[in-house]
Chains A and B, each alone.
Chain A
Amino acid sequence: MRFGPRGFRFGCPMSSAESLAVAVSDVAYRYGAVSALADISLSIPAGSATALVGPDGVGKSTLLALVAGVRRLQSGSIRTLGGDIGSRTHRDDIMARIAYMPQGLGRNLYPSLSVAENVDYFGRLFGQSASERAARITQLLRATGLAPFPDRPAGKLSGGMKQKLSLCCTLIHDPDLLILDEPTTGIDPLSRRQFWQLIDGIRAQRPSLTVLVSTAYMEEAERFDQVVAIDGGHVLAQGTPSELLARTGTEHFEQAYVALHGNGGPADTHLPPLRPSADGKPAIAAEGLTRRFGDFVAVDHVSFSIRRGEIFGFLGSNGCGKTTTMKMLTGLLDISEGHAELLGRQVEAGDLTTRLRVGYMSQGFSLYEELTVRDNLALHARLYRILEADVKPRVGETLKRFGLLEVADKKPAALPLGMRQRLQLAAACLHRPEIMILDEPTSGVDPAARDMFWRLLGELSRRDGVTIFVSTHFMNEAERCDRVSLMHAGKVLAVGTPAELRRTKDTPSLEDAFVAYLEEAERDAAVEGGDRPSVPTTPAGTAVQTPREAVLVADRSLRKAGTGLQASLLRMWAFSYREMRELLRDWVRLSFALLGPLLLLLTFGYGITFDVENLSFAVLDRDHSADSRRLIESFAASRYFRQRAPLLSELELDRRLRAGDLRLVIDIPPGYGRELVAGRRPEVAFFIDGATPFRAETTRNYVDGIVLSYVEDLARRAHGSASDLVAASVEPRFRYNQDFRSVFALTPGLIMIFMVLFSSMLAALGVVRERELGSITNFYASPATVAEFLLGKQLPYIAFGFASFVSLLVLAGLAFGVIVKGSLLALASGGLLYVFAATAFGILVSVFVRTQAAAIVATAILSTVPAINFSGYLYPAAALQGSGRFIGMGFPSLWFQNISLGAITKARGLADLYPNHLILLGFGLAYLVAASLLLRKQDG
């Protein structure tokens, strides 16, 4: 067997076929009826850097996912790294050599894990040793400026920082083919520079590295060896940047782009001057605005004043507090200190009048994935109180204006990022607000659409007098603002027109001015000894921070192949370790999962009983004789019954029985005593509430017994001796539970129920959660197999479930004196197998469903019914019938109930119980096999 063919291939002189890292021929892809790609062919030489540009929704992301093998090929063929990506064996071979970073702000990250832990997970996934991982993490974090906060949870990072972290995760395994889907979307200019320098550094170090990137920044595309422009599912043009410029006869790439795609003329960035507003009052005013999260000051005494109709740009490094400021203005976040006014009104959380006049677009997608584009807008229109008659035309007009007509009846989930952003923007404009607060509205949107969008903003501002507060990372957008504000580390560094800012710093472009301001702020902070993230202090425009240091220098021969048991176990452990960390980090879930069953055991052990006692009864005594009272007395004296106020009429009898106040009514006829003495055998009626049959049955037995003893008592009084009515007696001997106490019978069953419900519920969200939140792509793009993934996920839950099992047993002993009378080994091994089967069941559900909500409902329904009703817990297994019998036997609970009851109360050993163990093992394996058959390692 050849070990590590990759070094071999790239080391040798390459044949022509091998010199292509990617060869796409005649690829088409459809989402249902909609065609995303039609007949795409292109080739990417090994060692080259290629940029993919094109409008939103032309299938750039689809193409990248197909090349990476993360999405299933429908037609055509793609050869990636020298083999057919459609072939599973080839994918298994090369996955370790591909790095794929999906679109979206950190969609593939784990929010509860820290920065370092996220990167560490990817390192483990690719089988790196601890020391190697540590070295690489340090390098990558330093190179991306994340080094100051390795311990911050990924979920608490700003959008741009998430993107950087996501890149670190992608780069950790030293790939041969790097596929990045809009990697710099939402990243500030300085970080973008650093980012590309990082990539350049890696490429310089490893010339064989092939880079394939889609981007919305045309000035970025310019840096690439090759640019591929895609539109309408076809390749429009392919060539070097200079070739494309020559072909379109343009100077700037952004213009070339617009020319290529043939929509819109040259960008007209000129805005007519702003008219002063009538009252001269600012539309938005902030004074000393401050927001703290614990010790962290996210926004530090920010003040600004925005005139009506002004377009006010908000620039700043990632995580500097732009979003937080915007959220405070919208009332989403409380203001810690300071003062803010919108349209002359103080910002207040519950102020609906202001909300009606404001349009807000959040950084992340915040519309409904489950509604179509049209329905989302319509809902929006109606909630913003647009007259019903106007809703349809307004929605139609907006769809048209934002180029959403074609996708109007699709759900946002199926749309590319750019389209989703447009939809959000459309929603924010729909109700014609007076103020628009837009948080990076054009992130991930193609240049033509951005141009269209900014024209629209200009129109809104100048024609309709709408005040626009917008944050952006695009400098050409910032140039189009009336004024911009530069923010860094929670503070405003500078405010002014773009020209003023350029002049102050004496730089040719706004971008350079921006970088200069940031660097100055950093130096000041360094002087003050601040611990803010350090940006490099070299002059702007030159090579910032030696990329050489950032380059990964690990010995490539150390990289283990994706085969072999050890590598397989390592990958499995990577999944387990991450899952475990997430679980341990989430103390709420942890305590619910551990304490929940214990609390329930205490409550139920204490509260549930099948002893039928304290039955309420009342008497309709129409006789009122000594004899009738004696009869009543014999009931009242019984511990099973509790007497309630006597009944006075049949009407009352009926009413109280129906209301459920009484379980038993004794109706004593008039003349009862007389008849009894006369030996005429008077009739006494006993009415039993039959609504609960089990209780009624028991009540009937009690009545029989009490009547019999009453009669014997009568006989004793009459004859002075007991009658011979009872010729023989039955001595019940309650086995296994001498006192006939519910707790002994119930505890083993309660343990059985809690284990299956909690274990399966824990595991049931494992896969579907990753699918819903998007991080499952990491698995698709990893060299791991389905079995490794599933088993890896399951392991922590097995460990956890077993720990819970042990804690339940201990508690049962301490609180209720329920001790294990039989074999502890049989019980423990049974418990382990049961947890195995239960978690495997959860995993199966998780693979089957598409949403977390469905996973919860499915698990709850599928596990509670067999565990409570058909397991032999409430009703003995021998009494199961019909479908219940099959359901019971077809679920692990019944078999573990045998073990639990057998080992705990019946003192039985492994020799008697082992068939149950084997069956549990069988269940677990069957569930796992089914799950691995259902889960495909590709999208689509």
Chain B
Amino acid sequence: MVRWLSNVFRLGVKELASLASDMVLAFFVVYSFSFSIYSEATGITTDVTDAPIAIVDSDHSALSTRIFDALLQPYFRRPVLIDRSAVDPLMDEGRYPFILDIPPHFEADVLRGRDPAVQLNIDATAMTQAAVGGGYVSSIMQQETTNYLHSRGIERQLPVQSVERALFNPNLEGVWYNAIDALMQNLTMLTILLVGAAVIRERERGTIEHLLVMPVRAHEIAAGKIWANALVVIVFGTLSLVIVIENILHVPIEGSIPLFVAGMAIYLYAIASLGILLGTVANTMPQFALLAMPVFLTLNMLSGGPSPLEAMPEPLQVAMQISPAMHFTKFTQAVLCRGAGFELVWPHLVVLFGLGAIFLALALARFRSMLARVQ
């Protein structure tokens, strides 16, 4: 056991030296946990803010003017009045994701209680904004018409008072979510690439051959690679969480950072094992790059982060149970965003550990056959 630990330690230190000797690589590791996370968190917005909107006002009434005035910051930019003939070309260009078309005699129809309809053109290719923005426009419009009729708020009219509270992120700030999501994405990507490339490099340079005649075993080689590369990613990931996310982006961390780091370590062990497995499947660096890319994309896009898991087709949801990224996403959101404790998240950690063991076992089984292919 002492022998094992000592060998694994030596081999890992060697990995660290390799990493440190490649300055360009080191730069990109730092970049991906600093500026990259910052820009991913702040550069996009999932909520509708400052959305361009145009209005075709064929009514020119007090009510239509009222609606015009009500479409306000922060959700919308000041609406632009356009001619109906301009609707199609402007939509085509993608200048306005929303164009509200108020028909003639709108005000008169409202007053007569005819329930007139206003058409809202939505550019449905912008999926994330279309539904939410459409919802805003219609609630703003309804509120204004009701207020116009009753000169009292619509809420006061309802027999039920609904109190809506968004927990864990009261103002639904996109940055909070984006920052954590970017962190998870980069953790996954770097670990897979670093570990896999380390395996391929040993093969392409012939050093693995030398390692395998030494009194070390394949699992020691693999374990050395896992701890060293994962450690680098854990250190930078933690720094990124504390410095970039918590202190620069001011994202409140609900849960325990040590718990998160521990979970991250287990996740990275699983992902690094997957990376080693990929490294034994591919023969050359170009092959590895092309193999790692789709694996990473699948892990990332179907992790339940950017696209919610529950909306996926049932079979895919089942398939994603073996995705370490899915479990880690659930774990991370629970711990960092919702302040969940160990007693709530341990099942995910158990699954991650098990997945890691499976990947590692497969990788070790392939180690020797991989060597035969080098010849």
Contact = CB atoms under 8 A, between A and B. Distances in A.
Interface in A868-920: 869-870, 874-885, 887-888, 898, 901-902, 905-908, 912
Interface in B200-225: 200-201, 204-207, 209-210, 212-217
Contacts of A596: 290-291, 293-294
Contacts of B174: 693-694
B124 A734 contact: yes
Contact of A861 (B32, B110, B164, B217): B32
B10 A382 contact: yes
B359 interface: no
Interface in B1-45: 3, 6-7, 10-11, 14, 17-18, 21-25, 28-29, 31-32, 36, 38-40, 42-45
B128 interface: yes
Contact of A885 (B43, B46, B119, B368): B43
Nearest to B333: A691
A697 B142 CA distance: 18
Interface stretch (A230-238, A735-743, A778-786): A735-743
A293 B373 CA distance: 10
A608 B301 contact: yes
Contact of B120 (A692, A731, A772): A731
6 contacts: A368-B207, A683-B162, A691-B168, A694-B132, A735-B121, A875-B129
Which 3 A-B residue pairs are closest in the complex by CB-CB distance? Answer: A884-B43, A690-B169, A690-B166
Contacts of B50: 879
Contacts of A393: none
B311 interface: yes
A17 interface: no
A794 interface: no
B86 interface: no
Nearest to B131: A698
Nearest to B154: A725
A367 B210 contact: yes
A695 interface: yes
A612 B308 contact: yes
Contact of B28 (A608, A857, A881): A857
A856 B159 contact: no
B130 A740 contact: yes
A852 B165 contact: no
Given A730-B137, A737-B124, A679 B159 contact: yes
A907 B129 CA distance: 21
B14 A368 contact: yes
A327 B372 CA distance: 11
Contact of B205 (A369, A693, A736): A369
A850 interface: yes
Contact of A694 (B47, B201, B284, B287): B47
A589 B301 contact: no
Contacts of B259: none
A914 B50 CA distance: 28
Interface string B315-345: 0100000000000001001100111100011
Nearest to B140: A730
Given A370-B17, A686-B163, A869 B44 contact: yes
Given A609-B311, A850-B24, A735 B163 contact: no
A260 to B, nearest CB: 34
Contacts of A427: 210
Most buried by B among A383, A596, A604: A383
Contacts of A549: none
A887 B125 contact: no
Contacts of B142: 726-730
Given A603-B298, A853-B25, A726 B125 contact: no
Most buried by A among B130, B159, B213, B290: B290
B74 interface: no
B138 interface: yes
Most buried by A among B135, B137, B194, B206: B135
A7 B228 CA distance: 60
B94 A878 contact: yes
A737 B165 contact: no
Contacts of B28: 854, 857-858, 861
B146 interface: yes
A360 B209 CA distance: 10
A744 B125 contact: yes
A299 interface: no
B285 A852 contact: yes
Interface in A681-737: 681-698, 700-701, 703-704, 707, 710-711, 714-715, 723-737
B68 to A, nearest CB: 15
A876 B46 CA distance: 9
Interface string A739-768: 010101110100001000110011011000
A352 interface: yes
Nearest to A723: B157
Contacts of A694: 46-47, 128, 132, 174, 177
Interface stretch (A271-279, A328-336, A470-478, A496-504): A328-336
B83 to A, nearest CB: 18
A660 interface: yes
A693 B293 contact: no
B62 interface: no
A737 B311 CA distance: 19
A355 B286 CA distance: 33
A682 B290 contact: no
A360 B129 contact: no
Nearest to B169: A690
Contacts of B14: 368, 371, 375, 379
Contacts of A688: 164-167
Contacts of A736: 91, 123-125
Contacts of B7: 383
Contacts of B301: 604, 608
A367 B207 contact: yes
Contacts of B131: 610, 612, 698, 701, 740
A287 interface: no
B73 interface: no
A427 B29 CA distance: 33
A586 B291 CA distance: 13
A730 B118 contact: yes
B289 interface: yes
A304 interface: no
A692 B309 CA distance: 12
B169 A681 contact: no
A698 B146 contact: no
Given A586-B286, A692-B333, A366 B139 contact: no
B190 to A, nearest CB: 7
A864 to B, nearest CB: 7
B141 A728 contact: yes
B120 A733 contact: yes
B169 A881 contact: no
Interface in A346-367: 349-350, 352-353, 355-356, 358, 360, 362, 364-367
Contacts of B333: 660, 691-692
Interface stretch (A47-55, A88-96, A651-659): A651-659
B294 A599 contact: yes
Interface string B35-78: 01011101111111111100000000000000000000000000
Contacts of B113: 724, 727
B18 to A, nearest CB: 4
B122 A593 contact: no
A494 to B, nearest CB: 27
Given A355-B215, A679-B159, A734 B122 contact: yes
A68 B310 CA distance: 65
Nearest to A655: B344
A580 to B, nearest CB: 14
A682 B158 CA distance: 10
Contacts of A707: 158, 160, 162
Given A355-B213, A592-B291, A876-B129, A658 B340 contact: yes
B305 to A, nearest CB: 8
